[in-house]
Amino acid sequence: MQHRTLGRTGVQVSTLALGAMNFGKIGRTTQDEVTAIVDAALDAGINLIDTADVYSGGESEEMVGKAIAGRRDDIVLATKATMPMGDERNRRGGSRRWLVTALEDSLRRLGVDHVDLYQIHRWDPDTSDEETLSALSDLQRAGKIRYFGSSTFPAYRIVQAQWAAREHHLSRYVTEQPSYSILQRGIETHVLPVTEQYGLGVLVWSPLASGWLSGAIREDREITTSRSTFMPQRFDTTIPSNRARLDAVERLAGVADEAGLTMIQLALGFVTAHPGVTSALVGPRTLDHLHSQLAAAETKLSADVLDAIDAIVTPGADLAAHEKNDTPPSLLHPSLRRR
């Protein structure tokens, strides 16, 4: 397993990191299964585990906490907040009121006294950057978080937050966690140039494009990934964007075969090849899933293979831009663009 420096923090993290979204009811995993996955990941050299309060309503954090008990100091532990945690309107967002409470809840579920990286899961348009950064800076000074970062922020919001930190003499985000894969390359256009400019570490989620690049989805096969059951619209091949993905996958499978690689090796090798990417988050639901992903830990794609990928999916292009979760609110709600 290779390791890289997380932005300018000096912290060394593995190029493959363990994402815990599938831990709990979302992935239908038991505690024993989660512990086995965590054990295997750590044995393979992974040292970064990423979860969130919203994953299975806090169950993921509880399972991670039990799985890492007794070896906390060997792990770079990351979690996230701001997504709704219940129906009460103030149990979400980036306000000081909620972030202080949310972090205490996460620490209790994880069974730790601090997290290494606390991330704002989504930009909250109702809360000022100063409010959020001030709360995070105070939590950092209190020793409850070591660093903090953003997740799925548009490039202009990353820049605005950096300037707000400077203007108000506050600590700044040191990482960004965007969606990135061969099929979703939009961050190459704006986000990665910005994160490189500001020296942010980048932890990319969904490098297998929700299973499209796992090798299980092909033209002549029924789509049976776990996500197809609760996100059917993402796999309906009558939808043009999904048809485009399937066509690309067929061509990418040929590239992988010619290079002697699995689709997973091709997909993970692609995202970790970008100089702006620190780590790729893998989200296994089973030990078999993890082992197939660990096989990509040392994969280094040649220039010829990367050129072949570029010929199939244009650099900077998203084949399903509507799934990126970073669309400005004014494009989603007509009331925000009309007087």
DSSP state letter for 213: T
**CA 249: distance to chain centroid?**
21
* Angstrom distance (rounded) from CA 70 to CA 35: 13
Two structure tokens written together for 324: 């990126």
Q: Catalytic residue among 55, 147, 173, 180, which? A: 55
Backbone region of residue 56 per phi and psi (left: phi > 0; alpha: psi in -120 to 50; beta: other values): left
> Residue 333 is inside which H or E element, if any?
none
Which phi and psi (to 5°) does residue 151 adopt? -140, 125
Task: Quickly count: other Cβ atoms within 10 Å of residue 73's Cβ.
Answer: 7
- Alpha helices, H only, the chain: 31-43, 59-67, 96-110, 129-141, 155-167, 191-198, 227-230, 240-259, 263-273, 287-294, 303-312, 329-332
Choose among 41, 42, 49, 80: nearest CA to 65. Answer: 49
Task: Quickly count: other Cβ atoms within 10 Å of residue 325's Cβ.
Answer: 12
* Angstrom distance (rounded) from CA 120 to CA 127: 12
Q: Specify whether the CB–CB gap between 282 and 268 falls below 8 A.
A: yes
* Annotation says 55 is catalytic: yes
- By annotation, the residues acting in catalysis are 55
